[in-house]
Amino acid sequence: MADVPSDAPEHCPGTSSDLAGKSSACQGCPNQNMCASGAAKAPDPAIEEIRQKMTSVKHKILVLSGKGGVGKSTFSAHLSHALASDDSKEVALLDVDICGPSIPKIMGLEGEQVHQSGSGWSPVYVEDNLAVMSIGFLLNSPDDAVIWRGPKKNGMIKQFLRDVDWGEVDYLIIDTPPGTSDEHLSIVQYLSSAGIDGAVIITTPQNTSQIFPPTTGGAQRMCEELNLPLLGRVPLDPRIGKSCDEGKSFLTEVPDSPAAMAYQSIVQKIRDYCSSHSASDDLS
């Protein structure tokens, strides 16, 4: 994909495009001369460093949403818990929501700190086979505000991928911010050589709840239009939010609930996909 600078104008063609610095969208951009000269087209050496680091990670799955508040971080956490319920699998959860990290609270890890060793940053472990990394572990307080522009966000994501001592991992789940922004561009660019198995898109409304009547077809229609599989629907259950607030796994707390069974069905589809497809295929 074309690397788009964080301060780029709308319709930026990207630094790797033949039109870099030359299109009408480039007029007035502070990077125009650099892009036009070709200096910006040199590949970031971190991409190769990250590829080498990620050779020990079998499957990489992004969790995305078009807007906030639809349960993306909740799903990321429970996907990680469910995958880690198999003691033979090593699972890691990476929170790249730089400005609004919620994973430490959802995973019951508030107040934990990251330690550095000769092999890099050590992630925080929920279970022996479930590791977590988030900028929340680098803050003095969960109430601290993170107000960073693109380059600093990109640098932190690069460090998470390159400098964390993940070890041998079967699944790396990457929880992203809502929408599409610097974090999404960075994570896809940095993993471009390492390979991403796919992305799970979280959205509402759901057919299982009258609170959100499916007036536009919801996720089902979106998947049909994009020719993508619908992994499932999770019914609303207030106990999910309660479990997240308490840093517990809803799947363990209420395993026989319809919502927990819906989660498990979706997770099994993701397991099956990862075991039967290459990293170049799509997952939604």
Q: Where are the domains of the chain?
A: 1-42, 46-276
pLDDT-based confidence at residue 240 (cuts at 50, 70, 90): very high
CA distances to 215, 235, 236 from 210, in Å: 11, 10, 10
pLDDT at 123: 94
CA distances to 6, 64, 96, 270 from 80, in Å: 30, 15, 15, 11
Tokens of 275: 């075991």
Tokens of 206: 């759901």
pLDDT tens track for 93-139? 999 988 888 999 999 999 898 888 777 899 999 999 999 999 989 88
pLDDT-based confidence at residue 284 (cuts at 50, 70, 90): very low
- What does DSSP assign to residue 2? P
Do 142 and 105 form a contact (C-beta atoms < 8 A)? yes
pLDDT tens track for 268-280? 999 999 988 754 4
Measure the CA dihedral 71/3/55/121, to 10°.
-70
Q: The pTM is what?
A: 0.73
Least confident range of 122-131, 174-183, 209-218:
209-218
Cβ neighbors of 154 (< 8 A, separation 6 or more) are 6, 182, 186
The three-class DSSP label of residue 172 is strand
pLDDT at 42: 61
pLDDT-based confidence at residue 213 (cuts at 50, 70, 90): low
Average pLDDT over residues 3-16: 60
- Determine the residue type at 80: S
The class of domain 46-276 in CATH terms is alpha beta
Cβ neighbors of 78 (< 8 A, separation 6 or more) are 249, 250, 251, 263, 267
